[in-house]
Chains A and B, each alone.
Chain A
Amino acid sequence: MSITIAVAGNPNSGKTTLFNALTGSNQYVGNWPGVTVEKKEGVLIGHPEVILVDLPGIYSLSTNSLEEELARDYLLESNPDAIINIVDGTNLERNLYLTTQLAELGIPMVLAVNMMDEVEKSGAKIDGTMLGKAFGVPVVEISALRETQIDELARIAMGTAQKKGHLLPMHRFSGGVEHALGHIEEVALHDQPEHKQRWYAVKLFERNELVQAELGLSTALEAHIEQDIRQCEMEYDDDSDSIIASERYDFIEEVLEKVTVRKKAGDLSPSDRIDRVVTNRWLALPIFALVMFVVYYVSVNSIGAGMTEWTNDKLFGQIILPAISGKLANWGVAGWLQGLLVDGILAGVGSVLSFLPQMVVLFLLLGLLEFSGYMSRVTFILDRMFRKFGLSGKSFIPMLIGSGCSVPGIMASRTIENEHARRMTVITTSFIPCGAKLPVISMIAGTFFGGKGWVAFGAYFLGIAAVVISGLILKKTALFQGEPSPFVMELPAYRWPSFKCILITTWDRVSSFVKKAATVILLATIVIWFMTFFGWVDGRFQMLEASQINHSILAAIGTAIAWIFRPLGWGEWRPVMAALSGLVAKETVVSSLGIFYGFSEVAVGGQEMWTSLRMAFSTLSATSFLIFVLLSAPCIAAISTIRREMNSAMWTLFAVGYMTTVGYVVALMVYQLGIWLKEGMFTLWTGITLAVIGVVLWLIFRPSPKAGSALKRAKAGARG
């Protein structure tokens, strides 16, 4: 018989550390259905029949955020056998607030008071037995980091789960409130199970619309309850939801009075002293820049890049590929099969593997920043700048990493709590030119702009501008509307992170990339390989030599859709197909153009074919081509990662469609306006372009619908 135990607690209470200590690496990481929030399940070490579910870190069950909604729905609908509620012993007052709410659900519960080592070091004391009595639950004092008392916690949690009883909440509100709650239970809830009545009564008292709708009470009954609530509000001179919140905290204060001996106040804690420097008005930004430089340097530039290069060039390029090609040739394997194995499958595996070292290094560093508490400070420092664009301060990191490679960049968006901001970051990260786009930039810069550095600078500027403008446009669309998640954020105390925890988190993230994205990347690489190297020569479908790929399926598609790109100035199959081949990897654009213009091998910047390019493109159409390649749909690996992070096919389609539209529109503007200004010819397309610019400007500057006004109403209420 299996037992399910949910682990619930505040963010930064050590929940992940505890979960890892309980389950080891025996975990399954996925997503909650339909959203981008991580869902973790694991098996209790030594007890294969016990399944632990790691709920998202939450402060309350009031459904202020997606995480709270997921946790609440899980607890109410899946009925776990028990809850382990982990609370931070150094911050009991606020942590126990959630405990008062969890206790009302009727699910058997164990209270794990964490960070006892720190509590003892600070000279404070907690009487666990008294605390347990106050809440009517068993209490275990633990340190998740040092793994003390973890077995004891597991034993008690299992015992509690097996009893199959219902928890009756011990805490009471003051007389007037209890009177109203009792009345509500009596008139509206007597047909609900006893252990759930209190939860519903409190929610009805708070005028929770979700619960009102769920219960479907008659209008007369609702009016009756409303009368009770009004009377209570008059008596307390406060709103009902505020009364409940205040009284929960009053109850906790009362309990803590009896249960704890507090450390003496006044002294600055070590954490406060660190923050005096790290979030100091003048030092915060320089320190942030330094931290980011180190993260970038280590993960993208030195270790990460070195390892990636080694995997790609040495391991695959010089060892595995030649060895296998040689073997295949020796065995006399058919040409098409050799091609499939070497250029299709192995190249696909290679490109997946080449991301891994970089990703491991990056996630180790991000884990360090997250678990130490610095990530919250990043949001604190940068919030003002990023919130205007619908992003989070933490969006900086995916974009920075994205300048190396979009794949780990997109994955770094995991650390953003707010789902809107996270989606926005996933969509916009690959606008920042990644390393693979640099050869394309240097090819165009070398051919048409004398290799000037400002072209590369312009490419980065274009990327940043695309992010900013997308933020302004998208945050006003219905997709990103809805009541904004409040930005009221804890700045947790700095802590030495658990190395084991960082390792497990990194392992989870990287392995979920391998499982979810890698298979797609592999498949897509094979499909694209097939479309590039197969086609019709003289009416016969066959495999193609590298010099024949103008006969490929991809070329046929390129020819068929070339007309779409005529307004951009390069509506011919060669550049169109080169742009399409960028789906494999953006640097392929250069080698494809090389093949099309008759050069079997070209250098990174494509120097050999500059003359051919100058004949095929004007400076203007080359610029438009470059812009399209930079902004439109990223490579298939990045798209697969977007799919993995969005956890939705619809959102992935939207992201890819949006990026391609942006690439097209910007290239169109540059090319058509350029023609108009240079040659003074006003054509139909000039008119269309001007209209498009008008629409874009409107999208940027139109007033924000609904959500903005709700905020204003709330504020008007506050001022009034």
Chain B
Amino acid sequence: MKTLRDVRIGETARVVKVHGQGRIRRRVMDMGITKNVEIFVRKVAPLGDPIEVNLRGYELSLRKDDAEIIEVS
């Protein structure tokens, strides 16, 4: 399964499904990461984590571990 964590910087991916459970899953969906949305991976923080992505016209940062619950194609 390819996840958002695997997407390289500067690439765009399309969300297939949000896995996981609890607050992280809810928050991810609330922030607009839902089925079929396109996510552009902009950069990684200076210490290697978290990452910064662009979706729905705004910038979002999330940890790599949390990016793993987002299945993309």
Contacts and interface: CB of A to CB of B under 8 A. Distances in A.
B34 A242 contact: yes
Nearest to A244: B29
A483 B49 contact: no
Interface residues of A, number: 48
Contacts of A483: 22-23
Interface of A: 59-60, 62, 64-65, 91, 93-94, 97, 238, 241-242, 245-246, 249, 272, 275, 279-282, 284-285, 376, 380-385, 483-493, 710, 713-715, 717-719
B21 A714 contact: yes
Interface centre among A284, A376, A486, A492 (most CB of B within 10 A): A486
A489 B62 contact: yes
Given A64-B30, A717-B21, A242 B49 contact: no
Interface string B48-69: 1110100011111111011011
Interface in B15-41: 17-32, 34-37
Given A238-B35, A241-B29, A380-B45, A279 B23 contact: no
A717 B19 contact: yes
A719 B34 contact: no
A211 B30 CA distance: 18
Given A60-B30, A62-B26, A94-B56, A487 B68 contact: no
B44 A281 contact: yes
A86 to B, nearest CB: 16
A279 B27 CA distance: 24
Given A249-B32, A284-B46, A489-B61, 12 more contacts: A60-B30, A93-B56, A94-B56, A238-B17, A238-B35, A245-B34, A249-B37, A284-B45, A483-B22, A488-B27, A488-B62, A493-B59
23 contacts: A59-B30, A62-B27, A64-B23, A94-B56, A94-B58, A97-B30, A242-B29, A246-B35, A285-B46, A380-B45, A381-B46, A384-B47, A384-B50, A486-B23, A486-B26, A487-B63, A487-B66, A488-B24, A488-B27, A488-B61, A493-B58, A715-B69, A719-B68
A717 B63 CA distance: 18
B60 A383 contact: no
A490 B60 contact: yes
A8 B44 CA distance: 32
Most B-side CB within 10 Å, residue of A238, A241, A245, A376: A245
A279 B24 contact: no
Nearest to A281: B46
Given A249-B34, A488-B24, A381 B62 contact: no
A710 B50 CA distance: 21
B31 A282 contact: no
Interface residues of B, number: 43
Contact of B31 (A281, A382, A488, A713): A488
A59 B22 contact: no
Contacts of B21: 713-714, 717
Given A246-B35, A489-B60, A718 B29 contact: no
Nearest to B15: A246
B31 A490 contact: yes
Contacts of A282: 46
A94 B37 CA distance: 12
Nearest to A482: B23
B43 interface: yes
Contacts of A241: 25-26, 29
A710 B21 CA distance: 9
Given A94-B56, A488-B66, A710-B22, A245 B49 contact: no
B17 to A, nearest CB: 7
Given A245-B29, A249-B37, A490 B17 contact: no
User: Chain B CB within 10 Å — which of A62, A93, A490, A718 has the most?
Assistant: A718
Shortest Cβ-Cβ A-B pairs, 5 listed: A60-B30, A245-B29, A718-B19, A384-B47, A486-B27
A372 to B, nearest CB: 15
A163 to B, nearest CB: 30
A275 B59 CA distance: 11
Contacts of B25: 241, 714
Indicate the member of B30, B46, B56, B66 with the most A CB atoms within 10 Å: B30
A492 B52 CA distance: 12
A284 B60 CA distance: 17
